[in-house]
Chain A
Amino acid sequence: MSVSMSAYGSALRVTVEFAGGIDAHVKPECLQMVDGAKLARIELPRRLDDSRAPTMRSLIAHVAQHCFASGAELFSTDDELRPGILAIINDADWEITEDGVDKYDYVLQDQDAIVFVSTLHGG
């Protein structure tokens, strides 16, 4: 996903925390330690190339492309999270959705706090 702020006006800003060992594969320059948490601040255009608002699916693809030097396949496959990695949106389980709504289609809001935590043995 290419991101150009000038083409889309103000950016959508979300914070992404990596935990449970998946943080070991994230580029160090993307991370900042805050109170023991490894956080990255991600800026996305408010409208994507297809004029739709960014969703969790687009965030995952963006993170895999821009925040991982190698080992992105340990985080996601295409634009879906690898099984065993949980996502938490604003301190709530991202799997709480209405019936028939895909959790990947959650439309990101400005200042959302997303956590990706690996539950896999050894991270």
Chain B
Amino acid sequence: MCDGASPSAAGAGRRAVVPNMCVKCKTAPPSIAIRRILYCKACFVRASVAKFRTAHTKSLKGAPRPRPRAMVALSGGAASSALLRLAADHQAMARKGTEAAPPYAGITVGHIDESALFPGAPESEIRAAAAASGLPCVWAALEDAFAPGEGRAALLELAQATPQAGILARLARAPDGASGRAQLAALFAGLGSATDREDMLQMLKTALIVDMARRSGCGVVLVGDSATRIAVRAMSLTSRGRGFSLPLDVGAEMRWFDGVDVYRPMRDFVAKEIAFFNRWTGQPSAAVPTFTTGQPRSASIDRLSEAFIVELDQGFASTVPTVCRTLQKLEPCAEARAARPCAACGMPADIDGCETPADIDGCETPADIGDCGAPADIDVSAALCYSCRGLLRRAAPGTALPQFCLARLEAADAGARRAALRRQIDAFLIGE
């Protein structure tokens, strides 16, 4: 019953559906209904562009001057592809003199290649779409998170994790000849669930994109989080114990990473608007696989949160905007702003509820490192946020963490503890 078809066979006449006309021009029949408001195709695209510029301009009010370069974080999915088009369009229109000044000194496209984890990832399509934008593009791969830092091959390897002994890790050298891809695969194989794997993937991508922005001289990263995605993430992050950093994770602007601000200018678009915008503007996008692609709704907390929000939104069309309006009222508390970054996720670590190394009998602390010749176990609990402590407790012993975890752990320590850790890292010179 199903066979191929040519496009010429498609396309009957317009349906006579409603007597109403487009709410904007009032002359054309509607092509889309957004929360019962009808738009024709041209007015919808125009309204989308205006909506983006309004949200984007609001975020730019706090941007430093002279304006920095910006990096569009392109995953290749529908939202980031629409973001790429809208951001490039905003920049180009300003250049043509329709606005006082361009939003940024320039725009770079940044993409993380996920093919090491998802061999079916449409990398060629994504690269073609990025190249078509005419903007400079930079790439990183997930396995780059295991690239040696500062000429040292030391990695943080989980040793033991128990409620009594905290989360013990030790410095280790990557297995001889192990490629970054192999280490990446081992990391994800050592995680306990799809939820943990999704969490770790997000950590890797965030760390890599921020690092890539810094290397490219970009002071701003634009991410394509839509209203639908933000509502889902709010549910998911809260369920995973990330409430402490939630205001930063879902806010319009995230000023947390040193020298790099993150903006979410797609925050006022629901997923349906993005799908239609891409279709009607010819913006290509790809289906980017995740760990739960094709899986049932119970496969992970993220998947379940998405099902909850999307199903609720189907019955109550204002669900997503209502959740997002509520989220806009969230402000990071003073403790969160002053908190140290978690050694794993890089977000504020709530240390109040954390076990301290002193509470744990028989455990070496960073202060003890270097006093004896052999590498000692380090309790990393105090350097982790609540959610990452749970994630690493569930991980298998022997799991090696990405390189940036060790760098953050070192940065979190001070004085003699830091010097001791540094001495031990220095023992992992490449080529030794």
Contact = CB atoms under 8 A, between A and B. Distances in A.
Interface stretch (B90-98, B237-245, B282-290, B381-389): B282-290
A111 B276 CA distance: 21
Nearest to A3: B1
Of B11, B19, B274, most A-chain CB atoms within 10 Å? B11
B7 interface: yes
B302 interface: yes
B2 A40 contact: yes
A84 B38 CA distance: 20
A110 interface: yes
A32 B6 CA distance: 8
Contacts of A67: 2
A74 interface: yes
Q: Place the interface of chain A in its size category.
A: 35 or more
B11 A90 contact: yes
B15 A20 contact: no
A117 interface: yes
A48 interface: no
B310 A84 contact: yes
B298 to A, nearest CB: 13
Contacts of A83: 307, 310-311, 313-314
B7 A35 contact: yes
Interface of A: 3, 13, 15, 17, 19-21, 23-25, 27, 29-32, 34-37, 39-43, 62, 66-67, 71, 73-74, 83-84, 86, 88-93, 95-98, 106, 109-113, 115, 117-123
Interface of B: 1-7, 9-15, 17-19, 30-33, 38, 41, 77-78, 228-229, 232, 271-272, 274-276, 279, 284, 287-294, 296, 302-303, 306-307, 310-311, 313-314
Given A34-B6, A66-B2, 17 more contacts: A15-B9, A17-B10, A21-B293, A23-B287, A25-B294, A34-B4, A74-B294, A86-B275, A88-B276, A88-B279, A90-B14, A92-B14, A92-B32, A109-B15, A118-B287, A122-B292, A123-B287
